[in-house]
Amino acid sequence: MQITTEEIFEEFEQLDPRDQSQYLLELGYDLPRFPPEAKRDCDLVHGCQSQVWLTGSMAESGDDPVLTFQADSDAEIVRGLITILLASYSGLRASEILAFPITDVFDRLRLKQYISPQRHNGLQGMVDRIRTIAAESLAPSVAATVKTKVQDRATADHHSKPASTSIRPFDVDEVRRQFPVLNQILANGRPPVYLDSGASAQKPQVVIDKEREVEEQYFANAYRGRYSFGARIDDELEAARQKIADFIGASASEEVAFVPGATAALNMIAFGWSSGRLQPGDEILITPMEHHANFVPWQQVAHIHGAILKFIPLTEDGRLDLTSLDQLLTRRTKIVAVTGMSNVLGTVTPIRQLSDAAHAVGAVLVVDGAQSVPHMPTDVVADGIDFLAFSGHKVYGPTGIGVLYGRQSLLSEMQPMMFGGHMISRVYSDHSEWAPPPARFEAGTLPIVQAIALGTAIDWVQQYGLAAIHAHEQRLLELAATELQSIPNMTIYGPSTEHKGAIVSFRMSDIHPEDLAALFDLNNVFTRHGHHCTMPLHDLLGVSATTRASFAAYNTEAEVRILVDSIREARERLLRHSS
């Protein structure tokens, strides 16, 4: 008699975690074995670390037949997993199999704690095979209605996710106290006035502590060992992945790949998505205010494929001019790639409007979220974002880690750009097959400590909520805009504050940004000057460099005033010498 899922649940609940993984092995010992002649290559499931043979047959025929499955593996633990799958699916109709929430079973058994993520990919490979057999056995008329129902369910599941809420009141003094780097006294007897968070944000103590905790207590490589350190690392990594998925409203953690940063993610999307898809004459639509990270890759891809790079124009005040969007988007537009928020003008782009327009012509929308994700809530589903890139170091996390988000169906079609360990499901001497996402995009050893600490940084943000952080930053922005306008010969670039995020870039006609930066440094005012990796935008603005002050949760109104006073002081000193 085949064991039922209820019996498995009951047994699992009575056992402690170590015995639970033993029980998984025992389930494997009890599964009937295939005779050697039944282990056919054509029934092998791809994506498994061990060999798995899986077949299905009809227990009762019809338009929506009842199916049974048989499977075997050369690893006992996998045979245990097979037992769970067979208990879950056997005896169901094909349509019921397609609608069956198998992840609920995995979650209830907390399988992610006992099996490595690579094995989890293998498990997903078996589920995919079972679902394919079910889909293929349905009569076409039934198949169409089943597909719609499954899609409806997925949408309903997404919308029933609880919205994250702020649980800790936002108090800038309390926030600031958590950043050791900001609470030191520098050589001139004053603390730093750090106004360069657009380049990199500082880290709160909890993030620094988390990095230290991993290094000191349980560091090991990821996705390799099942000894306790390795298991802990895998769990922490997957927990971080889930936090990131929730933070950006992704439907599943598998839509989040760990990559070195926004630049890496954007290159992977540009080259990976274009590969085999872009034809000569196809069009890529970007904006003139893109950071080079979301500009140069598309320029390169356009050169390689003979595609045309087009630009959405800017209005006088530095917003996107969407009046001609309908003409700019054509049947040939395959990709629309825009920044969520300009790293110079601060302009916030109307993502939903762009995604609707892009999707209407069959293009995908890529969003460079390097600046927007740290400052305003992002919901990839509600915003209709197909691909999103951002960096950990701008969202209070470590350097060397970033995120490539892609809609599941798109990621599983996208060509990887880095090859090696972990990203494969099977390597033959003459070709290889890729692991499902996200592993496909995570070749080699990940920046493990950084990825885990990024999860902590996201928790840190979530405890206040981005809405509260955004409101605070907007107050600073408004104060800065008002005060800067009172300085002679001052140009502030970009739109009015209601259309922009926590960045203000400016230039005075009589003072070079480089000179200003040198004098700022004397007051510990840390801003950035130059073209900020946006040369085409600076060409449009008609200047080679601007000064940029960018704000984060820990900045104060007092610091904005120090910035303005330092400008006045610098003017006095510099103009005294030049007159």
Q: For residues 498 and 500, what is the distance between their CA atoms, to the nearest angstrom?
A: 6
Residues 197-256 within binding reach of ligand PMP (CB under 6 A): 199
Q: Which single residue is written with the structure tokens 């209605």?
A: 145
* Binding track, positions 454-493, relative to ligand PMP; x by CB under 6 A: ----------------------------------------
> Of the listed pieces 6-14, 58-66, 99-107, 368-376, which binds ligand PMP according to CB under 6 A?
368-376
Look at phi and psi of residue 465 and say left if phi exceeds 0, alpha if psi is from -120 to 50, else beta.
Answer: left
Please pick, from the candidates 204, 261, 406, 437, the single residue that binds ligand PMP as defined by CB under 6 A. 261
One of 73, 90, 294, 550 touching ligand PMP (CB under 6 A): 294
Cα separation of 234 and 228, whole Å? Answer: 10
533 counts as catalytic: yes
Segment near ligand PMP (CB under 6 A); pick from 129-137, 300-308, 317-325, 365-373: 365-373
Confirm or reject binding of residue 347 to ligand PMP (CB under 6 A). Answer: no
Q: How far apart are CA 360 and CA 306, in angstroms?
A: 23
Q: First CA to last CA across the chain, in angstroms?
A: 97
User: Residue 444 has what DSSP assignment?
Assistant: S
Q: Which is nearer to ligand PMP, 231 or 266 (CB)?
A: 266
Using rule CB under 6 A, residue 343 touches ligand PMP:
yes
Minimum CB separation of residue 294 from ligand PMP in Å reads 6
Does 262 sit near ligand PMP (CB under 6 A)?
yes
- State which residue, 401 or 511, has the beta carbon closest to ligand PMP: 401
The nearer residue to ligand PMP, 391 or 524, going by C-beta atoms, is 391
Q: Which of helix, strand or coil describes residue 339?
A: strand
Binding string, 390-409, against ligand PMP, x = CB under 6 A? -x------------------
User: How far, in Å, CA of 563 to CA of 66, rounded?
Assistant: 72
Q: How far is the CB of 267 from ligand PMP (least distance, A)?
A: 9
* H/E element, 479: helix 466-485
Output the smallest distance, CB 394 to ligand PMP, in A: 7
Residue closer to ligand PMP by CB (options 20, 371) is: 371
What six digits make up the tokens of 149? 């129902």
Contact letters for ligand PMP, residues 63-102 (x by CB under 6 A): ----------------------------------------
CB of 540 to ligand PMP, least distance (A): 16
Q: How far is the CB of 335 from ligand PMP (least distance, A)?
A: 16
Whole-number Å distance between alpha carbons of 341 and 350: 10
Q: Which of 475, 297, 470, 491 is nearest to 387 (CA)?
A: 297
DSSP string, 539-555: HHHT-S-EEEEE--TT-
Judge whether 289 and 537 are in contact, CB under 8 Å. yes
Residue 478 C-beta: closest distance to ligand PMP, Å: 22
263 binds ligand PMP (CB under 6 A): yes
- Pick 119 or 548: Cβ nearer ligand PMP: 548
CA 349 → CA 149, 242, 370, 412, 461, distances in Å?
34, 26, 13, 28, 22
Distance CA 288, CA 540 (A): 8
8 A C-beta contact, residue 127 and residue 34: no
Nearest approach in angstroms of CB 285 to ligand PMP is 17
Q: Is 406 helix (H, G, I), strand (E, B) or coil?
A: strand
Marked catalytic residue, from 8, 448, 533, 545: 533
Q: Could you give the CA distance from residue 136 to residue 404 in angstroms, rounded to a whole number?
A: 33
Amino acid found at 97: I
Q: Is the Cβ of residue 95 or residue 372 nearer to ligand PMP in the bound state?
A: 372
Does residue 293 bind ligand PMP (CB under 6 A)?
yes
- Binding-residue total with ligand PMP (CB under 6 A): 14
Asked if 378 and 340 count as a contact pair (C-beta separation under 8 A), the reply is: yes
Q: Report the residue number, 343 or 450, with the smaller CB distance to ligand PMP.
A: 343
Cα separation, 228 vs 218, whole angstroms: 8
Alpha carbons 295 and 152: distance in angstroms, whole number: 37
Site string for ligand PMP, 165-204 (x = CB under 6 A): ----------------------------------x-----
Helices 228-247, 448-464: crossing angle, 10 deg rounding:
40
Within a 13 Å sphere around the CA of 12, how many CA atoms are in the beta-carbon half?
21
Does position 121 interact with ligand PMP (CB under 6 A)? The reply is no
CB nearer to ligand PMP: give 109 or 338. Answer: 338
Is 349 an interacting residue with respect to ligand PMP (CB under 6 A)?
A: no
Report how far residue 115's alpha carbon sits from residue 125's, in angstroms, rounded to the nearest whole number.
14
Rg (CA), the chain: 27
Q: Write down the least CB distance from residue 200 to ligand PMP, Å.
A: 8
Least distance from ligand PMP to the Cβ atom of residue 339, Å: 5
Instruction: Indicate which residues carry an active-site annotation.
Output: 533
Q: Binding residues for ligand PMP, per CB under 6 A? A: 199, 261-263, 291, 293-294, 339, 343, 368, 370-371, 391, 533
